[in-house]
């Protein structure tokens, strides 16, 4: 990795060719010519300038996707053909993985090692859904209620999909939507975050190189207020898949309700990580760190809400505080960096406000709690540990989206479960114990879409991902992720029928 991260960041951004909307197989400027500067979060310096869209650009992209779905044979092609295209796209991602990882790092701020892991996962998701596409079988027969009839159930593409992606995992989250949509035969308009559009634009170039037909995959750049809202509200869109915060998810659901379109929401989480006294504490400590601090804690599934049994509380908290103080912050392209910056200065202000409010409410600062000095001007924040917390604190209940742990004590399994489930969220949870009977009890009792036992933040293409309660609606990944993009149709055919003769005969 480069000793001159600014030069390396400039080189990574320069590798990107197109910086415009991608509509109907071609890159094109915004209707009003507006542009947006994209910043490196580690330096807050401009690394690229891209098109900034509005509703008219969203409508152009929707029209292209609508035409590709309605007027071409895309959705009716053999699923095996779509599988081949996904495999071709996976191969291109693997070919360009290192350059894509560098682009993702300068765009989002995470370390390049994390970005490389992401690129491997993106290719894996593409290959997984290529395999699922090949499994899409013929119509499933039903037993008809009449002897001279045939009844089948068909699975068909949902139609035109609007995909609104977050800034924390730009390409990975996009793959969770794009791959199953292609496998199903849908067409799509993808809106990346206006903060992190660069790797998505490169994906558009790879989509074209892979041979995916024009209009199937489109990218509309811009803000949620201008472009995202137009996508959600359009009657020409059949399905909206949104990943982001709870407040935005509520707005998406309300807007989509006006045209009663299908909605899949992957929203936030406040994810408990429970440490029982019989756990392997050394192993638990490593997973506590890894489960919360990748991408500076800007992960919807970050296990930043620690629940620690009283008898081991002090030992674990002391060890965690010592480790947090030793974490090396810096530019993601610098060798030895363990954690990069937050995405922006407003995000750092938000994180710091949560910390200050918790301290005013009685929390104890055990580590961090201050912006970090790294030699760069980016939005760096020290990994922070707040002890002495209780469930009434906002920092315990709300998603901070930063490297901030809160710690609560418990004295019994029942108390731990009550605390863990006492949240409006239900995305993910984890716990550490050696007790086999407890593993079964607690796994079933936790009201979360994913539960990790003696680990944290493990995800892969075959495992469904999504939340209970206000963490969302629907699932991504796994077979369930493909089902989101398929409609179910019943077809009933009579070969010979005898009318009842009911109307107008008496």
Find, among 295, 374, 344, the residue nearest to 37 by Cα. Answer: 344
Cα(149)–Cα(22) distance, rounded to whole angstroms?
Answer: 47
Which of the 8 DSSP states describes residue 446?
-
Which of the 8 DSSP states describes residue 295?
G
Cα(101)–Cα(114) distance, rounded to whole angstroms?
Answer: 8
Find, among 12, 20, 39, the residue nearest to 195 by Cα. Answer: 39
SS3 at position 395: helix
Question: Are the C-beta atoms of residues 267 and 244 closer than 8 Å to each other?
Answer: yes
CB burial string 304-317: b at 16+ within 10 A, e below: bbbbbbeebbeebb
Q: 235: exposed, middle or buried (C-beta count within 10 Å: 0-12, 13-18, 19+)?
A: exposed
Compute, in degrees rounded to 10, the torsion defined by CA atoms 414, 415, 419, 422.
60
Question: Are the C-beta atoms of residues 203 and 174 closer than 8 Å to each other?
Answer: yes
Q: Is 165 a catalytic residue?
A: no
Find, among 179, 138, 74, the residue nearest to 482 by Cα. Answer: 179
What is the distance of C-alpha 412 from the center of its chain? 34
Catalytic-role residue among 161, 165, 300, 389:
300
Residue with tokens 């910390």: 355
Catalytic-role residue among 54, 104, 266, 484:
266
Q: Is 300 a catalytic residue?
A: yes
| 456's tokens | 């944290």
The HSE-up count of residue 32 (CA atoms within 13 Å, CB side) is: 12
Tell me the backbone φ, ψ of residue 157, rounded to 5 degrees: -60, 140
Length of the chain: 506
Count of CB atoms situated within 10 Å of the CB of 360: 9
Find, among 227, 216, 222, 249, the residue nearest to 75 by Cα. Answer: 216
| 10's tokens | 């400039």
Residue with tokens 């200065």: 345
Report the alpha-carbon angle 411-415-421, nearest 5. Answer: 140
CB burial string 113-148: b at 16+ within 10 A, e below: bbbbebbebbbbbbbbbbebbbebeeeeeeeeeeee
Element (H, E) at 321: helix 310-325
What's the chain's Rg over C-alpha atoms? 24
Residues labelled as active-site residues: 266, 300
């Amino acid at each position: 990795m480069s000793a001159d991260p600014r030069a390396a960041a400039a080189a990574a951004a320069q590798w990107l060719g197109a910086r415009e909307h991608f509509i109907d197989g071609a890159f094109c400027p915004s209707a009003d010519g507006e542009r947006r500067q994209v910043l490196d979060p580690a330096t807050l310096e401009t690394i690229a300038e891209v098109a900034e869209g509005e509703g008219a650009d969203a409508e152009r992209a929707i029209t292209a996707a609508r035409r590709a779905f309605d007027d071409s044979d895309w959705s009716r092609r053999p699923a095996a053909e779509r599988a081949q295209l996904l495999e071709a796209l996976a191969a291109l991602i693997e070919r360009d993985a290192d350059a894509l990882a560098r682009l993702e790092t300068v765009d989002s701020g995470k370390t390049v090692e994390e970005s490389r892991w992401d690129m491997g996962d993106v290719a894996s998701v593409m290959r997984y859904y290529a395999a699922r596409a090949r499994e899409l079988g013929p119509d499933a027969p039903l037993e008809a209620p009449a002897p001279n009839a045939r009844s089948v159930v068909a699975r068909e593409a949902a139609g035109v999909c609007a995909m609104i992606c977050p800034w924390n995992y730009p390409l990975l989250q996009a793959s969770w939507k794009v791959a199953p949509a292609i496998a199903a035969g849908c067409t799509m308009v993808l809106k990346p975050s206006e903060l992190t559009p660069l790797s998505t634009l490169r994906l558009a170039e790879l989509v074209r190189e892979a041979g995916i037909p024009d209009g199937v995959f489109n990218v509309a750049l811009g803000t949620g207020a201008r472009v995202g809202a137009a996508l959600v509200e359009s009657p020409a869109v059949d399905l909206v898949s949104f990943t982001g915060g709870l407040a935005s998810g509520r707005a998406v659901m309300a807007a989509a309700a006006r045209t009663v379109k299908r909605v899949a929401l992957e929203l936030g989480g406040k994810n408990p990580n429970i440490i029982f006294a019989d756990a392997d504490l050394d192993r638990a400590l490593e997973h506590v760190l890894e489960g919360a601090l990748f991408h500076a804690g800007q992960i919807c599934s970050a296990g930043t809400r620690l629940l620690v049994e009283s008898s081991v509380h002090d030992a674990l908290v002391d060890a965690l505080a010592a480790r947090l103080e030793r974490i090396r912050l810096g530019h993601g392209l610098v060798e030895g960096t363990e954690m990069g910056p937050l995405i922006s200065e407003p995000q750092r202000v938000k994180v710091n406000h949560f910390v200050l409010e918790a301290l005013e409410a009685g929390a104890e600062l055990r580590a961090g709690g201050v912006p970090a000095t790294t030699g760069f001007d980016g939005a760096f924040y020290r990994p922070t540990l707040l002890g002495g917390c209780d469930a009434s604190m906002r920092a315990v209940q709300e998603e901070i989206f930063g490297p901030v742990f809160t710690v609560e004590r418990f004295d019994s399994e029942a108390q731990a479960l009550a605390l863990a489930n006492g949240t409006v969220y239900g995305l993910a949870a984890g716990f550490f114990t050696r007790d086999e009977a407890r593993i079964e009890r607690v796994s079933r009792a936790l009201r979360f879409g994913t539960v990790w036992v003696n680990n944290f933040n493990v995800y892969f293409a075959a495992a469904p991902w999504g939340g209970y309660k206000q963490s969302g609606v629907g699932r991504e990944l796994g077979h369930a992720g493909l089902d989101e993009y398929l409609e179910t149709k019943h077809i009933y055919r009579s070969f010979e029928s005898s009318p009842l003769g009911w109307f107008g005969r008496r």
